[in-house]
Chain A
Amino acid sequence: MAHDHHDHDHDHGQEPPSDMALRVKALESLLVEKGLVDPAALDAIIDTYEHKVGPRNGARVVARAWSDPAYLDRLRADATAAIAELGYGGRQGEHMVAVENTPEVHNLVVCTLCSCYPWSVLGLPPVWYKSSPYRSRAVIDPRGVMAEFGLTVPDEAEVRVWDSTAEIRYLVIPERPAGTEGWSEEALTELVSRDSMIGVSLARAPETGA
């Protein structure tokens, strides 16, 4: 049995990668030849999204909004501009909207059609955000979906679901946890999880966070 399969590739070539990888290589190399794509720019984009852009950006926006009422006002008036103040810009030119959680209102973000997501402040979306169950159920049964994340929103609070589009992306500003009076922005940033800015969880409480 051990010798049933001889390697016929006597020049010791490599096994081609997956069909998906070959398709990307084919398209990319054709586009590079035509001058439509600059390989160095591709590398820079990958580096940015693998290493530089992530939910910490959004956490800094939230911590600033918690700490600085004037900033919160600017965020409410024009979230795209207020977020850009911290150096985070949407490269698709999408319009950012900040939605604030309060004791009366809890906000939840979804993209029912595909996976529109505020990359500049949250990085790329988690797998579940792109999944069919989340996309289809977040609008129909938001409380049920949030419960699966371990989040129970009080009955008396209104749940608002925001459906992202290619043009508009939403960032949830979670409620500032109690017991964080006088905390620095940096310390507050540690309490703000990715999921809390999508709306499927709350900001961490000081006892368990940081």
Chain B
Amino acid sequence: MNLPETGPIDPRVFDEPWQAEAFALVVHLHDRGAFTWTEWADALTGEIKAADDRGESGGGDHYYHHWLAALERLALKRGLAEPEALAMRREAWADAYRHTPHGQPVVLGA
């Protein structure tokens, strides 16, 4: 069952930076009134339920995958972003990485 991961307090809050960023985006957008917390919980619940139904949610390791999927879905539903723009922007970031020398900050349009 793999339940307890006992020991003292988990020192690492986020496993990877993107998880922290996705977390903060939701809290911030809610603070600014982009959606209510109930709407957010519903969106997250929907993603987790779908993963549960697929047998994929498992040990909670994919929690922030669901979190990000719920955020994207809610952002699109609310018209905060458009699907095409998101896809293009994703590619633009990938390109920016490929063309930025190591050790330099990655910026769009570099």
A22 touches B90 (CB 8 A): yes
Contact of B60 among A42, A128, A148, A166 (CB under 8 A): A128
Q: Report if A162 contacts B (CB, 8 A).
A: no
Nearest residue in B to A136 (C-beta to C-beta)? B52
1/0 per position for A108-128, CB-CB distance to B under 8 A? 000001111000000110111
Q: Report if A41 contacts B (CB, 8 A).
A: yes
Q: Report if A132 contacts B (CB, 8 A).
A: yes
Identify which of residues 44-97 in chain B touch chain A, using a CB-to-CB cut-off of 8 Å: 44-45, 48-49, 52, 57-61, 63-65, 68, 71-72, 75, 80-81, 85-87, 89-90, 92-94, 97
Q: How large, as a class, is the contact surface on chain A?
A: 35 or more
Q: Report if A29 contacts B (CB, 8 A).
A: yes
Q: Report if A12 contacts B (CB, 8 A).
A: yes
Query: Could you show 17 A-B contacts with beta carbons less than 8 Å apart?
Result: A17-B18, A17-B97, A21-B18, A24-B68, A31-B80, A34-B80, A36-B80, A49-B24, A55-B9, A92-B30, A113-B41, A115-B44, A127-B10, A131-B3, A134-B60, A166-B42, A195-B6
Contacts of B41 in A (CB 8 A): 113-114, 116, 165-166
Q: Report if A179 contacts B (CB, 8 A).
A: no
CA of A41 to CA of B98, assembled, Å: 28
Contact of A46 among B20, B57, B59 (CB under 8 A): B20
Given known A127-B63, A129-B60, contact A24–B25 (CB-CB < 8 A): yes
Contacts of A16 in B (CB 8 A): 93-94, 97-98
A165 to chain B, nearest CB (A): 7
CA of A94 to CA of B34, assembled, Å: 17
Q: Report if A193 contacts B (CB, 8 A).
A: yes
Q: Report if A133 contacts B (CB, 8 A).
A: yes
Contacts of A145 in B (CB 8 A): 3
1/0 per position for A169-210, CB-CB distance to B under 8 A? 000000000000000000000000111000010000000000
Contacts of B65 in A (CB 8 A): 20
Contact of B63 among A91, A130, A193, A195 (CB under 8 A): A130
Q: Report if A150 contacts B (CB, 8 A).
A: yes
Contacts of B94 in A (CB 8 A): 16, 22
CA of A137 to CA of B6, assembled, Å: 18
Given known A17-B97, A27-B72, A127-B63, contact A148–B80 (CB-CB < 8 A): no
CA of A131 to CA of B14, assembled, Å: 16
A31 touches B81 (CB 8 A): yes
6 nearest CB pairs, A to B: A166-B41, A130-B60, A131-B60, A26-B89, A21-B18, A45-B24
A30 to chain B, nearest CB (A): 5
Given known A14-B98, A30-B89, A166-B37, contact A41–B28 (CB-CB < 8 A): yes
CA of A18 to CA of B100, assembled, Å: 16
A134 to chain B, nearest CB (A): 6
